[in-house]
Amino acid sequence: MKVYFNNSCKICKAEIDLYKKENIQEISWVDITNNIVAEKETSKSSKELLRRLHIKEGEKILQGAQAFLLLWKKIPKYKFLYNFFKLPIIFNLFSFGYEIVAYFLYLKNKKQLNSTKEKQ
pLDDT tens, position by position, 11-37: 999 999 999 999 999 999 999 988 999
Beta strands in the chain (DSSP E): 2-5, 28-31, 54-57, 60-63
- Report the alpha-carbon distance of residue 14 to residue 87 in Å, rounded: 26
Q: Which of 59, 85, 56 is nearest to 72 (CA)?
A: 85
Model-level pTM?
0.89
The whole-chain average pLDDT of the chain stands at: 92
| pLDDT value of residue 119 | 46
CA angle 67, 71, 76 (to 5 degrees): 160
Q: How confident is the model at residue 4 (pLDDT cuts 50, 70, 90)?
A: very high
Say whether 52 sits in a helix, a strand or coil: coil
| pLDDT value of residue 31 | 96
Q: How confident is the model at residue 109 (pLDDT cuts 50, 70, 90)?
A: confident
* Partners of 3 in the β-ladder: 29, 55
